[in-house]
């Protein structure tokens, strides 16, 4: 039943992406994008079912009908072709250096898989956030008639205002399986970890070729803090997956001019917002960054159709989030016991800025416990940038969005009611895990391939 529940979700998402994305991008890209969106859609549907109080058989029937309806549309339109290769695949030069990096990728993948299963065996219920927040919320959602009992700040470390994407998927899996097996959240953590790596690699392969894809994927696999974060069932990597999905879909739109991809990107951005509170910050930052870029380029009005398509994908998801946040969820703990006087005192305290800045700089220099910036700088010195960043809208949008996100997160730390150093120590690395995949994706969009450089010299 666990396998069946995942198949239904994947069918919904992959079919939807196959209807939208008809271009030659490769099956792995469609599979990873579609599977992630399918899980998010299942989470939204499960939450609506919990609100309705209906019998679970109706939910199962609706999901099954939706999955086969979308699959039928795919079949009729002949858009789901597993055998299509990308143009990059057909033109790829498989040299010795390519085979070397291919072996390096396989070895890195083996180490990451080993590390993942060692951690899972040691911590089958995940670490504290997994069993005190996400899986605890899922257990309330599992028993629909009493689920609102969890919407209280009286339970320590429970964070009742957090969005319900992960709890919804876990509870749905438990409902299908008729038990609360730890296999459900472990399977989810496996997908979001290796799905993120696959999404980076397949998107880079479709846009820049397989050589860049191997290097970008290997770098992420080498970040063992990121692998550990995924294996311990934290929500930061799923959030990173949906942030990455949003930007990949926007980039595919600029590449293929397929208007439906903007609708899918709106859905992905909404999924990020439904995943974690930082996802809401990402959504605000993305909208703000897009508005700033369009205003400065004097193309805000010309882009109104694009904005409307993005909103069309986002709106249904945003309505669910707004209903949950405004009507059901209690006040976030960051603001629960704050007063204007206390906030003002913290904002005017220079020592808090110095402490927060020290931790931010340290995390940037050693992203998630791995000195990846130095590796990236070295790679760039060897190859050079491929394009002018100013001419790539997606890269500009991403970097500006991430800058606004980090600015917002910085001030959240400044006003935190918790001990500042403890709060930074326990969360700052996971904050950068959320943005690392999309940063790596954009970085390898704008750099030369090492193989291209060697071909030019020859």
pLDDT one-digit tens code per residue, 230-262: 999 999 999 999 999 999 999 999 999 899 999
Residue 76 banded pLDDT, cuts 50, 70, 90:
confident
- Determine phi and psi for 447, rounding to 5 degrees: -115, 150
Residues 256-286: pLDDT tens digits?
A: 989 999 999 999 999 999 999 999 999 999 9
The C-alpha atoms of residue 166 and residue 376 are separated, in whole angstroms, by 32
The C-alpha atoms of residue 133 and residue 128 are separated, in whole angstroms, by 8
pLDDT at 86: 53
For the chain, report the end-to-end CA distance as a whole number of angstroms.
56
pLDDT at 84 over 90: no
Residue 348: inside a domain, yes or no? Answer: yes
Residue 108: inside a domain, yes or no? Answer: no
- Determine phi and psi for 385, rounding to 5 degrees: -75, 150
The C-alpha atoms of residue 41 and residue 45 are separated, in whole angstroms, by 6
- Domain enclosing residue 17, as ranges: 2-100+133-457
Residue 448: inside a domain, yes or no? Answer: yes
Q: pTM score, two decimals? A: 0.93
- pLDDT over 70, % of the chain: 90
**Where is pLDDT greater, at 312 or 378?**
312
Residue 112: inside a domain, yes or no? Answer: no
pLDDT at 147 over 60: yes
The C-alpha atoms of residue 250 and residue 314 are separated, in whole angstroms, by 13
The C-alpha atoms of residue 219 and residue 235 are separated, in whole angstroms, by 21
Give the CB-side neighbour count of residue 94, counting CA atoms within 13 A.
5
Residue 353: inside a domain, yes or no? Answer: yes
Instruction: Report the domain count for the chain.
Output: 1
Residue 128: inside a domain, yes or no? Answer: no
- 8-state DSSP, 370: S
Residue 126: inside a domain, yes or no? Answer: no
pLDDT at 94 over 70: no
Give the residue from 264, 266, 251 showing the smallest Cα distance to 200: 251
Which two three-digit tokens encode residue 425?
């120590």
Residue 250: inside a domain, yes or no? Answer: yes
Neighbour tally for 196: CB within 10 Å: 30
């Amino acid at each position: 039943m666990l396998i069946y529940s995942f198949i239904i979700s994947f069918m919904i998402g992959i079919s939807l992406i196959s209807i939208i994305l008809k271009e030659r991008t490769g099956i792995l890209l469609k599979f990873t994008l579609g599977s992630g969106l399918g899980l998010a859609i299942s989470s939204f549907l499960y939450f609506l079912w919990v609100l309705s109080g209906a019998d679970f058989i109706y939910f199962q029937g609706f999901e099954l009908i939706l999955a086969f309806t979308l699959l039928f549309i795919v079949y009729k339109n002949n858009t789901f072709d597993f055998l299509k290769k990308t143009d990059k695949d057909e033109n790829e030069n498989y040299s010795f250096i390519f085979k070397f990096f291919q072996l390096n990728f396989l070895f890195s993948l083996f180490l990451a898989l080993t590390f993942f299963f060692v951690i899972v065996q040691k911590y089958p219920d995940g670490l504290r956030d997994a069993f005190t927040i996400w899986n605890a919320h899922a257990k309330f959602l599992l028993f629909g008639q009493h689920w609102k009992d969890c919407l209280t700040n009286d339970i320590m470390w429970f964070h009742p205002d957090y969005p319900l994407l992960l709890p919804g998927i876990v509870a749905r899996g438990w409902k299908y399986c008729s038990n609360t097996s730890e296999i459900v959240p472990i399977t989810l953590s496996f997908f979001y970890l290796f799905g993120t790596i696959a999404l980076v690699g397949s998107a880079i392969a479709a846009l820049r070729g397989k050589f860049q894809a191997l290097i970008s994927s290997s770098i992420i696999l080498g970040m063992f803090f990121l692998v550990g974060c995924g294996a311990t069932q934290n929500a930061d990597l799923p959030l990173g997956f949906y942030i990455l999905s949003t930007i990949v879909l926007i980039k595919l739109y600029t590449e293929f001019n397929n208007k439906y991809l903007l609708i899918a990107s709106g859905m992905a951005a909404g999924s990020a917002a439904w995943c974690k509170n930082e996802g809401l910050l990402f959504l605000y930052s993305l909208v703000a960054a897009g508005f700033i870029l369009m205003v400065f380029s004097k193309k805000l009005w010309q882009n109104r159709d694009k904005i409307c398509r993005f909103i069309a994908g986002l709106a249904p998801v945003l309505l669910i989030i707004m209903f949950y946040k405004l009507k059901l969820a209690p006040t976030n703990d960051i603001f629960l016991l704050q007063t204007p006087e206390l906030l003002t005192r913290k904002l005017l305290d220079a020592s808090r800025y110095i402490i927060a800045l020290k931790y931010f700089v340290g995390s940037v220099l050693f992203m998630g416990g791995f000195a990846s910036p130095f590796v990236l700088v070295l790679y760039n010195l060897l190859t050079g940038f491929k394009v002018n960043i100013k001419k790539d809208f997606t890269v500009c949008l991403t970097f500006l969005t991430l800058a606004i996100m980090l600015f917002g997160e910085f001030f959240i730390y400044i006003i935190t009611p918790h001990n500042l150093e403890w709060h930074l120590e326990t969360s700052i690395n996971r904050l950068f895990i959320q943005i690392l995949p999309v940063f790596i994706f954009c970085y390898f969009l704008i750099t030369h391939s090492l193989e291209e450089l060697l071909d030019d010299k020859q």
